[in-house]
Amino acid sequence: MKVIDLHCDTLTKLAEESGNELRKNQFSVDIEKMQKSNYIAQFFAAFVDKSKHIDSYSWAFKLIEIFKREESKNRDKIKQAFCYEDILVNEKEGKISCFLSIEEGAALKGSLDNLFLFYKEGVRLITLTWNFPNEIGYPNTEDKYRNKGLTKFGFELIEAMNDMRIIIDVSHLSDKGFWDVASKSKRPFMASHSNARAIKNHSRNLTDEMIRVLAEKGGLVGINFYSNFLGNKNIGTIQDIITHIKHMKKVGGIDIVALGSDFDGISTPVEFEDCSHMDKIYHSLLKSGFSQDEVDKIFYSNALRFLKETL
């Protein structure tokens, strides 16, 4: 078993709860837990909440500094990655590849110059919006935003991200924004932590048509473990996760499905506690009729293929 997870919010936890370290903590993600599940790569989000962080740019950089500090202290276990080839090299050295992402495009402050600065720091994925409108577009938090798409800067940003080989992430983006990205982007894009709207009718999830278009364009969907996006329980269950995966496979094919746990960013518990227990999902998928090759695709090889094509 190998694992690639496209989204976690552990950097925010480290920033808000001082005294914790990435090597070992009480959160859902740390180095020791990732090692137990044989992670080969983890995307760490620099998450910005515009309702709390007045200067989105500065807060994102603060989280990046935390990432750099923790990476430098743990070079024997982890290493920052910038492309597909880095994953292969790091794995041979017994190290987990750590990618930097930004969750909330407001961190760019409407500037392509800032996009370049974040790229130089190693950011390789940007979630265009979170729960508030920004210079790029609109979120899917309210019905009034559903049919509002990308701004002029948003379209310019898609082109720049394509040129710089920065992954476009449409999780949290409005429905119209999704279709604008689909029409504008020349490269495959992803929804790093979203589920199927046909299974759980929530605006944060993807319609079947979105899933099909993502598949046609070589995209990826990271299954989110948050109970509110999975089903009607107060806990994220393995069975609900499997139900969404089965639907994704039916609609878009197995090659679209990946993992985007949202660990340390979700407010309700998950049935298997933390990332050290990923084997519980793995074996449950096998028992549910998925082949070994299909489960490996979900857990890491689909993500590897996508990263090889995009970074």
Cα Dmax for the chain: 50
Separation between Cα atoms, residue 233 and residue 244, nearest integer Å = 14
The residue with tokens 């603060």 is: 62
Q: pLDDT (tens digit, 9 = 90+) per residue, 27-62?
A: 999 999 999 999 999 999 999 998 887 899 999 999
pLDDT reading at 159 higher than 90: yes
User: For the chain, how are helix, strand and coil distributed in percent, rounded to 5?
Assistant: 45, 15, 40
pTM (2 decimals)?
0.98
Would you say 223 and 258 are in contact if contact means Cβ atoms under 8 Å apart? yes
Q: Strands, DSSP E only, in 48-180?
A: 78-80, 96-103, 123-127, 167-169
pLDDT in tens, 192-243: 999 999 999 999 999 999 999 999 999 999 999 999 999 988 899 999 999 9
- pLDDT confidence band for 87 (50 / 70 / 90): very high
Question: In sequence order, which residues have a C-beta less than 8 Å from that of residue 311 and are 6 or more positions away?
Answer: 82, 83, 84, 124, 165, 167
| Domains of the chain, first to last | 3-310 (3.20.20.140)
- What DSSP line would sit under 3-71, residue for residue? EEEEEE-HHHHHHHSTT--SSS-SSS--HHHHHHTTEEEEEEEEE--TTT-S-HHHHHHHHHHHHHHHH
